[in-house]
Structure 1
C-alpha cells in the first residue's frame, strides 16, 4: 500500500506523503478503532525519535486510552490534567519542549522528555487527542505541529 523508500529530505513532503497514506488506509473503512489503530501504526513507522504515539478518546467527560504504539500507558486522564487533558480542555494543540517543566505532567513513561498533543475535533466536538512522546527534549517544532494538525484533520473525517 505504501513504500517507506519514497520519503524525501523535506519534512513537509514526507508529512504530505504520510497524510496520503493515511487516507488510503482509512477512506474505505468505517470502523473507528481500526482507523485509529492504523493511524497510530503509520505515525509510529514514519516518525523518528519517538517512544509513544496513540490516541486518547473522550468517554464520559474524561480521556480514555485508545489505540497506540509503545509501552503500556495511563488509562484515564481527566480533562484539564497533564498535557493531554490540557489540550482536550482548551481544544488546541499543546507542544511541550520539556515535559518536566510542564505543571501537572503525567509521567506514564519516565523516558519521555518532550510531547505534542493534537485534539481530534469534528465540527467543534472533541472526539479525543493524538498524543506523541519523545525521549529527547524539544523534538517537535512548528512544522511538526502544522503537519500533525493536517494529519488529524484528515483522520477525523473518517471517524
Structure 2
C-alpha cells in the first residue's frame, strides 16, 4: 500500500466538485478497490440527537446494521470512547456485531468536527490480523479530510 498515492487521490476526491455524499461514496469505492483486504468500507454518522449511529455511504456486501446503538459493537464502542479501535480477530471480541461470517478483522476510526465525534469510517476485512499502523495513519488522514467537508 502506497499511502502517499492514496492520500493524493483522497485529496483529489475531497477537492472535486461532487456533492458531499458523492465524495463519501467515491472514497468508499476507491478504498475498497485500491486496498485488496478492505472488503467493506463505510461511513456511520451520529443519528441526530439520538445515542446511535446511522449508516451512510458504503461499499461491499449489504448489512442489516443500518442503526447501531452507542456502546454496541466496535462502531458503537468508538462512538463512546472517541478512540481508534483495531480488531485483528473479531472472534475474540465479546461486544462484536457480526456483519457476516466472512469478516475476520475490523478497524474503526472516529471523525471529529469541532472536537465532537460525529461519525466514523469502518473497514471490514475477510483476513484476520491484517491491519497495521499504516492503515490507522491512512484512515486518520482520511477522517481529517472528511471532517473538513462536513463542518
TM-score, length-normalised on structure 2? 0.90
Corresponding residue to 1:71 among 61, 64, 69: 61
Partner of 1:110: 101
Q: Check if 1:131 corresponds to 2:149.
A: no
Deviations 1:60-113 (A, max 9, x none): 321111100111111110111111111111111100010111121000121000
SS of residue matched to 2:4: helix
Corresponding residue to 2:143 among 149, 152, 156: 152
Partner of 1:142: 133
Distance 2:86 2:115 in 1: 20
* Change in 2 beyond 3 A, CA 1:51/1:28: closer
Summarize the alignment of residues 16-27 of structure 1 with structure 2, pairs less than 5 Å apart: 16-27=4-15
Distance 1:34 1:18 in 2: 18
Partner of 1:6: none
Counterpart contact for 1:40–1:69, Cα < 8 Å? yes
Corresponding residue to 2:80 among 84, 89, 100: 89
Structure 1 stretch displaced more, 54-63 or 20-29: 20-29
Partner of 2:92: 101
Counterpart contact for 2:31–2:38, Cα < 8 Å? no
Deviations 1:106-151 (A, max 9, x none): 0012100000000111121122110001111111011211221112
Q: Check if 1:32 corresponds to 2:23.
A: no
Q: How many residues align?
A: 147
Moved over 2 A (4+): 28-32
Unaligned regions of 5+ residues in structure 2, if any?
none
- Deviation of 1:30 (Å): 6.7
* Change in 2 beyond 3 A, CA 1:121/1:71: same
- Deviation of 1:32 (Å): 2.4
